[in-house]
A and B are shown apart, each in its own frame.
Chain A
């Protein structure tokens, strides 16, 4: 159970997150909202790249904010980035290997994970990969060793419809295999509702709705946010 309590992030005078309290259960949860709503900022807080000015983040009672980002990654809090981060100067295999080496995994496990996400021809340099393969590689890198929490920041951005369709079952499989808590960020409602049971909706740094798909989708505040109208008016 990943628990956020009254998380506030200030960028100068702007509030990136404005007192967000949220609980993500084991399984896949969605985090949606229009552009600039604070989704990436939320993941940055969880993974340690941004320190909140107040608030708490706990996982099963363990205080996550006391660990630095590298420490969190090694402990099992993994994430991907909106801009995918595979190392261009290495091959696919070396990309998996470097993650395995630093996340306490063995090369043999790296090989298994390549099979799990469906990567082949591992001796190719990364610049020769298709966008889909780069996204798969990134996903593979996050589940080395002993993952506990997986934060995915728009994992299907830039992929054509057909390819992003096959991503949801893959994430489900990974979630089950490692019994993870997955937070899936996307602004595409369709994709998120396909993969998630619960959805949280952010707008202007505030949580405006949280619950199962059906109730969230029918929430008038969510509709307003997605139409680009401020929910206060």
Chain B
């Protein structure tokens, strides 16, 4: 018995240790590696990781589609700003917890429909709350350091921001403060997920009658989940207000809650790794994409200033990809890549994976935005083309080894990249299109072979599972 329990706990704990270790290393490395602009951006995305984790928990464990989590974050921020004005002698850590507790109450209250509704109707109700919150935030605004319950400057008065704490003065200090608070919040969620409540949630997700028949109180389990998630979400809203001592209502629009939900599905709702990815995608991808598009004059001319809306298209594509091909999101597929790497029999990337889509869709814009090198454009193009080629090439020559195919793909990719570097971007683009399209065309003609191979892969997958 004891051995069994130890084994279980050690397995869960080793995942935690690896996560903490890797997270710690990243947390130390990032302030050294990026400039101030990106550090602030990444700080914000870390704050959103907690909100994403909450959205993922509600959806993956209880099937609750909650489209009001950003609004709830705004509630936490609002309460935090007001409390820090009234309780200016109290440490901000404590005020954040108080704001979290107050948000918990409101979150449970507005979550009550989830006890009776489910699916689409519940989603619509939560969205309604998000819209309501947006209206309230826009009309009463966020408090500043002025008097009155709304904390708004009276006519003739100037608005005073809440003074931010000393650690928030430097970007690096703020980064570590946010990383540590976020880690504590994620640990809190982890404790619930892997403990008694997490198991009860899993049973409810599987089947409510089944859960009831082993004595689980469905209502109190759901309320507990809502409470924990609302608390952490409220704290992260407070965290968002810490650096500048103020908030703007535009950050808490209803649409952003919807987008966050989509991004959580893309990143992976079932794991905390997925939440980290979702936070990153939600905050850092839009500016990265903008920075990339701003470098391509044609797109700018074509779309004008509305090109920033491209991010919605990107998230839409990502959502479709994850709904069709990878219900466990990038995080789930990353685990799959790990398995394939260990087995070392297959090319570890597959175009049906979210990981593949992530590398192809996200890495190029991110790296282009980060590295200001024209050569980098072509290196990234080369990687991109190679990745797109590997799968079609494999179906053309199923007998070849995966590594050989990968080498061919990389060689073609590099060739086109070099061509682009020498002859200009248009040549590169045309060549890439030509090669990818023609290989895919040939592949279509070998559809029958493809079907056979997919069957083989499927049976291989089944054996792997058994």
Contacts and interface: CB of A to CB of B under 8 A. Distances in A.
A85 B210 contact: yes
A49 B215 CA distance: 13
B411 interface: no
Contact of B199 (A86, A90, A104, A145): A90
Chain B residues touching A, range:
20 to 34
A87 interface: yes
B214 A99 contact: yes
A73 B213 contact: yes
Contacts of A104: 215
B1 interface: yes
A73 B209 CA distance: 11
A69 B206 CA distance: 17
A89 B200 contact: no
Contacts of A94: 8, 199, 202
B4 A93 contact: yes
A107 B1 contact: yes
A90 B201 CA distance: 11
Interface stretch (A74-82, A187-195, A204-212): A74-82
A141 B199 contact: no
Interface in A207-223: none
B35 to A, nearest CB: 42
B202 A90 contact: yes
B207 interface: yes
Interface in A103-123: 103-104, 107-108, 111, 122-123
Nearest to A104: B215
Interface in B400-444: none
Interface string B191-212: 0000010011011011101101
Nearest to A102: B215
A24 B207 CA distance: 29
Contacts of A25: none
A85 B210 CA distance: 6
B210 A102 contact: no
A173 to B, nearest CB: 21
B217 interface: yes
Contact of B217 (A70, A107, A128): A70
B236 to A, nearest CB: 26
B215 A73 contact: yes
B1 A98 contact: no
A69 B207 CA distance: 14
A123 B8 contact: yes
A48 to B, nearest CB: 8
A108 B4 contact: no
A85 B216 contact: no
Interface in A54-87: 69-70, 73-74, 78-81, 85-87
29 contacts: A49-B209, A69-B209, A69-B213, A70-B215, A70-B216, A70-B217, A73-B213, A73-B215, A86-B210, A87-B202, A87-B203, A89-B206, A90-B203, A93-B4, A93-B8, A97-B199, A98-B196, A98-B199, A98-B216, A101-B199, A102-B217, A103-B215, A107-B1, A108-B1, A111-B1, A123-B4, A123-B7, A123-B11, A142-B214
